[in-house]
Amino acid sequence: MNSLARLNVADGMATPLAQEAYEKMYQTLGAKPVHATLAFHWARLVEIVYAAERMLELCQDKEITDPNVRNIPTATPDEGVGVIEAPRGTLFHHYQTDEKGVLTKANLIVATAQNYPAMNMSVKRAAQRLIHKGEVASEGLLNMVEMAFRAYDPCMACATHTLPGQMPLDVVIYDKKGEVVERLSQHLHSGPGISVTVVP
């Protein structure tokens, strides 16, 4: 669930330059639906073009400066739910407050958490294609595996509620006997990240 999924089900874009970029993307990548993981990046670019064009339209809209844009609440809210589409996918926010309007509970279901299964499959496929029998893994392997992971634009700080938001990566390669052949790691001191286990 992200930009590519939205473009795969859309008939087109609502602004001219975004429509042109949308058409070029599907002319290049083929008929819908496109499932290539790295196409997520292209789809995000198409949506960014749309967002820029739409912002310009809104900035020139006289109603935007109308004093009746915002309704001030007259009662203390006790619960609220918000759902919004973002480049990573759908964000769900659920908040509850006490009688003074002070926040007592917050539950966020972010796109990164929803994308975990797809991320796991992409990382596994990338690792299995890059590690071959008898071939020693290199530092470049980490970059290539991370590329499959990064295509989903994960926000580990959002998904795990920890900072500073770096991306720890631990790749462990086992042989058929279950013995560790090699291990490559980076940024493991910085908190939750991804761990890849590969059995050739």
Whole-model pTM? 0.63
pLDDT band for position 111 (50/70/90)?
confident
Strand bridging mode 194-198 / 169-174:
parallel
Q: Is 75 left (phi over 0), alpha (psi -120 to 50) or beta?
A: beta
Question: At 16, which helix (H) or strand (E)?
Answer: helix 16-29
pLDDT, tens digit, 9 for 90 and up, residues 131-158: 776 565 666 777 777 788 788 877 766 6
- Tokens coding 49: 């073009």
Distances (CA, A) of 98 to 77, 79, 94, 101, 104: 9, 9, 14, 5, 6
Is residue 142 within 8 Å of residue 167, measured between CB atoms? no
Per-residue pLDDT at 174 = 77
Distances (CA, A) of 48 to 3, 85, 112, 146: 10, 13, 19, 23
Classified as helix, coil or strand, 11 is: coil
More confident residue, 19 or 1: 19
Is residue 180 within 8 Å of residue 137, measured between CB atoms? no
Q: How far apart (Å, rounded) are the C-alpha atoms in residues 179 and 161?
A: 34
Per-residue pLDDT at 109 = 86
Distances (CA, A) of 2 to 19, 44, 84, 143: 18, 8, 11, 23
pLDDT band for position 190 (50/70/90)?
very low
Mean pLDDT of 48-56: 95
